[in-house]
């Protein structure tokens, strides 16, 4: 069964303390992987698309990487404004259908 | 550009009542989607419309109907609301289906409670 699993469910860091979030997937014929950020009470906001193993993308303090089985979202020297839930998602079948993970709730303490 | 807009933002229904959630996008996107988000379960696809004039079932379509009114608008209807439909509903749009590079853009959500 196609599945997307994110870990940890929640992560609390001190400001400046770097860490990584994990997204593992079991989807045949991967055609890409998306990362989104979701703030409380809002809709998800697109961050990155990764297309193939070995690819990396960066945006400010965030860097996303992709292997054949999983993706990591690395957060370097985070700030309180990076606090949010981070979701990953992969297309299933046609890209019209996307499977989302349950997310990692990240909290950055000042 | 407003992006993706949804109405209403909040709604309380009694069991058995009906309602329609409205969604509109101004990005000239071809594809539109309806999701529900429940604690611990992530976003689940209810219905989608790959292009104007087409609609297809997603992962959890039971109890819902949709209408792609035109290229901009995609509505979700609950004919007879049940407490299990208490959730946050998100509408999304993307440039086109079929290729992984077409990320989805989400609206702000509708918080629905069915009592």
- Is the CB of residue B81 less than 8 Å from the CB of residue B13? yes
Sheet holding B64-68, edge to edge: B4-7, B19-25, B74-78, B64-68
Question: What is the predicted pLDDT for the residue at B40?
Answer: 76
Of the ranges A95-99, B10-14, B27-31, the best mean pLDDT one: B10-14
- Is the CB of residue A19 less than 8 Å from the CB of residue A12? no
Mean pLDDT of A64-68: 93
Residue A11 DSSP SS3? strand
- Is the CB of residue A104 less than 8 Å from the CB of residue A8? yes
Mean pLDDT of B91-104: 77
CB atoms B43 and A95 under 8 Å? no
B39-74, pLDDT tens digit by residue?
A: 877 899 999 998 899 999 998 999 999 999 999 999
Distance linking the first and last C-alpha atoms of chain B: 36
List the structure tokens of A56.
């990396």
CA distance B21 to chain A (A): 15
- Is the CB of residue B107 less than 8 Å from the CB of residue B56? no
Percent of chain A topping pLDDT 90: 77
Burial status of residue B86 (CB atoms within 10 A of its CB: 0-12, 13-18, 19 or more) = middle
Q: Which residue has the higher pLDDT, B102 or B82?
A: B82
CA distance B2 to chain A (A): 14
Side-chain-side CA neighbours of residue A7 (13 Å): 4
Of the candidates B41, B100, B109, the beta carbon closest to that of A43 is on: B109
């Amino acid at each position: 069964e196609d599945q997307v699993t994110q870990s940890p469910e929640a992560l609390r860091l001190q400001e400046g303390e770097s860490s990584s979030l994990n997204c593992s997937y079991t989807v045949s014929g991967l055609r890409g992987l998306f990362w989104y950020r979701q703030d409380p009470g809002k809709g998800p906001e697109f961050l990155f698309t990764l297309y193939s193993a070995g690819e990396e993308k960066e945006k400010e303090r965030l860097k996303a990487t992709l292997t054949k089985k999983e993706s990591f979202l690395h957060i370097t020297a985070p700030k309180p404004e990076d606090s949010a839930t981070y979701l990953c998602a992969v297309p299933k079948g046609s890209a019209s259908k996307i499977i989302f993970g349950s997310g990692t709730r990240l909290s950055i303490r000042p | 550009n407003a992006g993706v807009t949804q109405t209403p933002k909040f709604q309380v229904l009694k069991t058995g009542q009906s309602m329609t959630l409205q969604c509109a996008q101004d990005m000239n996107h071809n594809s539109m989607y309806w999701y529900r988000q429940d604690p611990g379960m992530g976003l689940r696809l209810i219905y989608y419309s790959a292009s104007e004039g087409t609609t297809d079932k997603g992962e959890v379509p039971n109890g819902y109907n949709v209408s792609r009114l035109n290229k901009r608008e995609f509505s979700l209807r609950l004919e007879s609301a049940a407490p299990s439909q208490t959730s946050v509903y998100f509408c999304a749009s993307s440039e086109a289906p079929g290729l992984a590079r077409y990320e989805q853009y989400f609206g702000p959500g509708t918080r629905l409670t069915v009592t």
